[in-house]
Amino acid sequence: MESQNTLHPTRKIHLWILTLLFSISYISNGYCESHNANDWKSSYTSVTESAGVFIAQKRTTYCGIPKTYLVDRSGKRITPAFRDIGMFCNGLAEFVEAKNDADPYGMHGYLNNKGNIVIDYIFRRK
pLDDT exceeds 90 at position 116: yes
Confidence of residue 56 (pLDDT cuts 50, 70, 90): very high
Over residues 4-23, mean pLDDT: 66
Coil, helix or strand at residue 58: strand
CA-angle at 16, arms to 15 and 21, nearest 5°: 95
Q: Do both 18 and 66 map to the same domain?
A: no
Q: Do both 7 and 62 map to the same domain?
A: no
- Report pLDDT digits (tens) over 23-40: 665 444 444 444 465 789
Q: Do both 3 and 43 map to the same domain?
A: no
- Report pLDDT digits (tens) over 58-87: 988 777 788 999 999 999 999 999 999 999
Q: Which CATH number does the domain housing residue 48 bear? A: 2.40.10
Q: Do both 64 and 120 map to the same domain?
A: yes
CA-angle at 41, arms to 35 and 42, nearest 5°: 95
Distance CA 33, CA 16 (A): 23
Asked if residues 69 and 47 have their Cβ atoms less than 8 Å apart, the reply is no
* Chain centroid to CA 81: 16
9: containing domain? 1-33
Over residues 108-123, mean pLDDT: 94
